[in-house]
A = this chain, B = another copy of it.
Amino acid sequence: MKRPHVVIIGCGFGGLEAARALRDAAVDITLIDRTNHHLFQPLLYQVATAGLSAPSIAAPARFLFRKQRNVTTLLGDVVDIDVAARAVQLENGERIAYDQLIVASGATHSYFGNDPWAAHAPGLKTLEDAFEIRRRVLLAFEHAERETDTVAREPWLTFAVIGAGPTGVEMAGTMAEIARHTLPEEFRRIDSRKARILLVEGGERVLQAFPLRLSERAKDQLTSLGVEVLTSHKVTEIDSDGIRVNVNGVEQMIACKTIVWAAGVAASPLGRLLARACALPAGSIDRAGRIAVEPDLTLAGHPEISVVGDLATALSYEKNGETKPVPGVSPAAKQMGRIAAKNILARIAGRTTQPFRYTDYGSLATIGRKSAVVDVPVPLFGHLRFSGYFAWLFWLFVHVYFLIGFRNRFIVLMDWAWSYMTFNRTARVVAGTEKFEPATASQKAKP
């Protein structure tokens, strides 16, 4: 008897976990991803800020599954899903038939309809993005050292991070660390400590998903690292000269050459494609392009298609008596991947599927050297909330623990121990000789 064929699109946390959960199942799995690697996205900001090299946080997908013989890994880009014929189509026209499909193609950043901003303010979702941001940050200091006119030099030494969620906070904190501690000895004409790092947030506080008290602690820690925290600053324009912000109705211009976008995400276009193909009702796609799933993570009328991770929506859980949406974090994607895999096995065996229930293990955000905020639910106790040095150690432990593969964990710890002692950041090498021209920079990364 032919074994059921499970196709998984995407090798992020959701897709990886689903494939792993099918480890001992009598199914054949084809895992398709546009890149050749699984990326540990929570540490991507470390690559963007030259603290870690790419191999420390990314491992080839086929390496991770080398011993799981029921997985075939393909490097490919899914451009269409033929729901009626049960086949996915790759970029070169190749069609791959499936019995069960798990769509885990995740999210990218969104400029809320202002796509021209992308050229001036790259986001941080892929390794390419991280290389591009690293290149811009490092070359901005090089430009400042070359620039002899002190007025023209200012924008090269002004860095704006837009969006004060966990990624924005991590980026701003680490960039301040670089300017204050890593670079000062290395330049002769500029004082890198005078670089301005702006964290620009439209809302009223940083880390809005965290409780108010931790938000305030985070802001204090950022400020003491040298970050200028600009809350209630709504960005209205981004171009090659800098950003325009609206502060309580007043427009201001901030001249800066290096801008990082950490403000919005949009789901993979496969969500809209599936909604059309499955003839889902109009409200099935939310503003961010995520697709509504049934409680068991399948699509209405299509029990053979599951959607997991950042592409899925309409899931909620109880927190402190309130109903909240499941957050777009890696533990949620992994939990969904596991349940989708279990439900596939249940359907194959003729059993009923189980609904997805999100288990909240808490939220962590690091701010920079030695500071972080932690909000962890403790059964029968409530919430454990703390910040500062121990929060940072906790954050470090959790992130290194969940890194895929022993070798990476070890090298990451070594790299960090070294950075911690010396303030040095070792991955500061920019390949290539092209000059940094933000006005004409394409969205394409040139690491």
Q: Tell me the A residues contacting B by CB distance below 8 Å.
A: 34-37, 53-56, 58-60, 62-63, 65-67, 69, 71-77, 91, 94, 126-128, 131, 138-139, 142, 145-146, 148, 185-189, 407-408, 410-411, 414-415, 418, 422, 424, 426-433, 435, 445-447
Contact = CB atoms under 8 A, between A and B. Distances in A.
22 contacts: A34-B433, A35-B430, A35-B433, A36-B138, A36-B430, A37-B430, A53-B427, A55-B428, A59-B426, A60-B186, A62-B186, A63-B186, A63-B428, A72-B145, A74-B146, A75-B139, A91-B435, A94-B148, A407-B424, A411-B414, A446-B446, A447-B447
A17 B306 CA distance: 60
A148 B186 CA distance: 53
A285 B55 CA distance: 43
Contacts of A77: 433
A90 to B, nearest CB: 8
Contact of A94 (B142, B146, B186, B411): B146
A407 B431 contact: no
Contacts of A91: 435
Given A53-B55, A407-B424, A424-B63, A429 B127 contact: yes
A190 to B, nearest CB: 11
Nearest to A129: B431
Nearest to A70: B188
Contacts of A424: 63, 407
Nearest to A60: B428
Nearest to A30: B188
B128 A431 contact: yes
B407 A55 contact: no
A414 to B, nearest CB: 7
Contact of A146 (B65, B75, B145, B431): B75
Contact of A431 (B65, B127, B427): B127
B432 A55 contact: no
The 8 residue pairs across chains A and B that have the minimum distance between CB atoms: A127-B431, A66-B185, A53-B53, A34-B433, A62-B186, A75-B142, A72-B188, A58-B429
Contacts of A446: 446
B146 A432 contact: no
A35 B410 CA distance: 30
A432 B127 CA distance: 7
A72 to B, nearest CB: 4
Given A55-B428, A66-B185, A77-B433, 10 more contacts: A36-B142, A36-B430, A37-B430, A60-B429, A62-B186, A65-B186, A74-B146, A76-B146, A407-B422, A408-B426
Contacts of A426: 55, 59, 407-408, 411
A255 B35 CA distance: 27
Nearest to A36: B430
Contacts of A447: 131, 431, 447
A182 to B, nearest CB: 9
A126 B55 contact: no
Nearest to A61: B186
Contact of A55 (B71, B188, B429): B429
A427 B54 CA distance: 8
Nearest to A426: B55
A132 to B, nearest CB: 10
A414 B417 CA distance: 15
A62 B407 contact: no
Nearest to A135: B36
Contacts of A139: 36, 75
Contacts of A73: 145, 186, 188
A134 to B, nearest CB: 11
A126 B407 contact: no
A142 to B, nearest CB: 4
A431 B131 contact: yes
A73 B427 CA distance: 18
A69 B186 CA distance: 9
Most buried by B among A54, A72, A76, A126: A54
Given A60-B186, A186-B63, A36 B407 contact: no
A74 B186 CA distance: 11
A9 to B, nearest CB: 13
